[in-house]
Structure 1
Amino acid sequence: MNVPLFPLNSIVLPRGRIPLQLFEPRYIDMLTRCLKEDRGFVVVLLRDGNETASTAAFYDIGTYVRITDFQQLENGLLGITVEGVAKVSVVRSWQQEDGLNIGDVEVLLDEADSKVPGRFSELPSVLRALSQHPVIRDLEMEVDYEDARHVGWRLTELLPLDKQEKQRLVELQDPLERLSRLQELLEALEEG
């Protein structure tokens, strides 16, 4: 699958949502094409550099997203909301003349369906608390607090972790391994 790549300093995972503001011509053109062709693009985490740089180094595991909403914002920029569909691996990437990154991607296997084990019972509670923030509530995400994948994906998106740690969590394919790592990280955050 050949798709546009959108390098960000944020992540989104399957069934997660993230609001974006578009102002660069390359991304406005990308949005127009995606809407016209009824297709999405891939959000990848920046390895280094910033989101508006003409060239970007990014990780090769990201998430294919679809546009769920768009509107003109009060600041004059175009606002969109995207929802994660599937994790993908960028096999090859290149940059078009307009600066838009394009990649050949392969969809990764779905993670195993698993309930949140009792030893991780604190994690859904933390997620429930984070989900009460008005910005998160406005995204209207449906979260299954008993599904280990959902809980791990949303906590990976929402917790204040450094981006290398977030990327390690994104790359895990075992939801229970992700929950275990998130529990360790939460304990470290609590200890200060």
Structure 2
Amino acid sequence: MQHTIPLFPLSQGLFPDGMLPLQIFEVRYLDLIKRCYQQQQAFGVAWIKQGSEVQVPGEIPSLHKIGCMAHIREFEQVQPTFFRVLCQGGLRFHLHDVQPGPYGVWQGSVTTIAQDPEVEVPTVLQAHADRLGKVIASAQQQGVAEKLPIFPPFHLDKCGWLANRYTRLSPSARS
């Protein structure tokens, strides 16, 4: 079933259970983020194909058709017009249509996509799970696990979780 959500277009993707730190300063997002935090509502993160994160008059951003719901885990109001938030990815969605909304916040007509099936990591990919596990263990031993861009729990035995972490950490996901 389609429903409408507020969109936050970004030049990077968000994946289920992924971490997304944001610095909010654009007027169009200050109200949205504060309201979402206070009402414990999610918003949609849509990966920009073409266009800018910062609003350009008359420009309609071209967005990828698959996005991810973002849930605010931490909220800090540094100044009245500057927030720091830490979001966690929820369910993916299929973006059908984009329309301008109140205060310049894009609205998307979306259909939620089911959660990734729980598939065990196959033997051929176990080395990747082990490698990420070593990075996590090393960070924990050094007392810097909170600096990892990964939320616990760490599902190193689940193929979808592992694929989402590697995809997010890859250089192409950040460009």
Which TM-score tier does this pair reach, normalised by the shorter chain? 0.7 to 0.9
Q: Does 1:98 align with 2:103?
A: yes
More strand by share: 2
Give unpaired runs (5+ residues) of structure 2: none
Following TM superposition, by how much is the alpha carbon of 1:73 offset from its aligned partner in structure 2, in angstroms? 4.5
Following TM superposition, by how much is the alpha carbon of 1:5 offset from its aligned partner in structure 2, in angstroms? 0.5
Percent of aligned pairs sharing the same letter: 23
Q: Structure 2 CA distance, aligned partners of 1:134 and 1:67?
A: 20
Q: Structure 1 CA distance, aligned partners of 2:169 and 2:149?
A: 14
Find the residue that maps to 1:31 and give its secondary structure.
helix
Aligned residue identity for 2:25: F
Q: Structure 2 CA distance, aligned partners of 1:100 and 1:129?
A: 41
Q: 2:117 aligns with which of 88, 103, 112?
A: 112
Q: Structure 2 CA distance, aligned partners of 1:159 and 1:126?
A: 14
**Residues 33-84 of structure 1 deviation map (CA, whole Å, 9 limit, x = unaligned):** 213432110111110222113332211210011111111349x731001111
Following TM superposition, by how much is the alpha carbon of 1:134 offset from its aligned partner in structure 2, in angstroms? 6.3
Q: Structure 2 CA distance, aligned partners of 1:97 and 1:4?
A: 10
Residue of structure 2 equivalent to 1:172: none
More helix by share: 1
Q: Which moved more, 1:8-17 or 1:96-105?
A: 96-105
Find the residue that maps to 2:103 and give its secondary structure.
coil
Say whether the 8 Å CA contact 1:130–1:158 is kept in structure 2.
Answer: no
Residue of structure 2 equivalent to 1:47: 49
Residue of structure 1 equivalent to 2:157: 146
Pick closer, same or farther for the CA change 1:119–1:62 going to 2, 3 Å: same
Residue of structure 2 equivalent to 1:22: 24
Say whether the 8 Å CA contact 1:48–1:57 is kept in structure 2.
Answer: yes
TM-score (norm 1): 0.75
Q: Does 1:59 align with 2:64?
A: yes
Higher relative contact order (Cα pairs below 8 Å, separated by 6+ residues): 2
**Residues 2-35 of structure 1 deviation map (CA, whole Å, 9 limit, x = unaligned):** 2110111111111111100000011101112213
**Residues 93-145 of structure 1 deviation map (CA, whole Å, 9 limit, x = unaligned):** 10125221011211112222101001011211333355548674276432210
Say whether the 8 Å CA contact 2:100–2:106 is kept in structure 1.
Answer: yes
Give unpaired runs (5+ residues) of structure 1: 165-192
Counting matched residue pairs gives: 163
